[in-house]
Amino acid sequence: MSSGNDCQSQTLTKPTLGEREAAELVDRVFGLKVSWIRSLPSYDDQNFHVRVSAEGADEYVLKITNSEDSQEPDLIEVQTQAMMFLSAEGFPSATPYLTKDGNIMSLELGGTRPGSKKYMVRLLTYLPGTPVAKITTNAQILYEIGRLAASVDKVLSEKFQHPSLKSLHRGQFIWNLANVPLLDQYIYALGQNKYRAVVEQVIEQFKGKVIPKLRSFRACINHGDLNDHNILVDSSSASLEYRVSGILDFSDMSYGYYVFEVAITIMYMMIESPDPLSVGGHVLAGFESVLPLTAEERGALFLLVSGRFAQSLVIAAHTALLYPENKEYLTITAKSGWKHLMTMFQVGQEAIEKTWFETAQAYTYHAPA
């Protein structure tokens, strides 16, 4: 769900290609004839699921990056190389199909209309599976997702190398969890209601209790957006056990902290859960099976999860003002997100942490195989 460094500069940067234009793009840039194409929902990029006329009827996702982020080719290069690296390391990540010139991406004019903008275009392998948002999660898959979140960040931080890694230092990137205080600029989008007061409370507590502790957290590369639409799963027909079959959307990658990733993952796994307040313990247990948190990192978890709720809800409201035609997708988290954030503050940090930490502790005695 990336969107440049400044939400205010999002003045209609999302691509708006039609299916025929997208199919022509695949032919011109990648040399493949499209036999079937359909649009996929997206935040501020444009994605198409395509099947090409080739042996095996290969399937891909055509990803057309918004015009603002397209101006950062080094960043997109690093994100794409990270996907290739993870795939080589055994993670279910997409890989790019090379352009006719042998490149992993190409800057292309988005249409023939006067004033058309240029967009970075990639063709990525299509990963089969069901988004976590479409299943009823259980303790087993929540634990697996927690373990995945830790494993992805750990291997990227310890082994991934690239000449442009510095591009992941995205100081004012609005989706980096360290930048919750930047929400002050966009909170107007909520109007005047009871929700706004809670978000203001989150921001102030974040400034006072989280920001001063950042230096004590362990730094790493974050995927940054392991939400319930960016993790695909499949299930064994013989049981209710799920396994992760795909990790999508690396456009929010940036330097951050390990505890950021587990907080972001907990928040998104809460969204569709019938028992949202219990989710955190299962995700945390999976994460800590790879990377145990320090006492200070654990102490910040409640406010980090609350901070991600605030980011998602405020930025969605702001972006929906810019793209009213995409409001349904942009505010998908808000349907239950507001309820969960309000409940968190009603129940309180102490009680919720007790639930999370006791659940995670139980796994030390009954860890999954």
Tell me the domains of the chain and their CATH numbers: 19-125 (3.30.200.20), 130-365 (3.90.1200.10)
* HSE, side-chain direction, 13 A CA sphere, residue 134: 10
**Active-site choice (44, 45, 69, 225):** 225
Location of structure tokens 């980096």: 176
pLDDT tens for each residue of 331-346: 677 778 999 999 999 9
pLDDT for residue 318 is more than 50: yes
Phi then psi for residue 162, to 5 deg, are -165, 140
Q: For 3-17, what is the mean pLDDT?
A: 58
Q: For 36-43, what is the mean pLDDT?
A: 88
249 is catalytic: no
| Cα 160-288-89 angle, rounded to 5 deg | 30
DSSP-derived pairing of the beta strands 34-40 and 219-222: unpaired
pLDDT for residue 289 is more than 90: yes
| Average pLDDT score, the chain | 90
pLDDT tens for each residue of 133-176: 999 999 999 999 999 999 999 999 999 999 999 999 999 999 99
Give the list of residues 6+ apart from residue 40 with CB closer than 8 angstroms, or none.
Answer: 47, 48, 49, 61
pLDDT for residue 282 is more than 80: yes
At 7 the pLDDT is 47
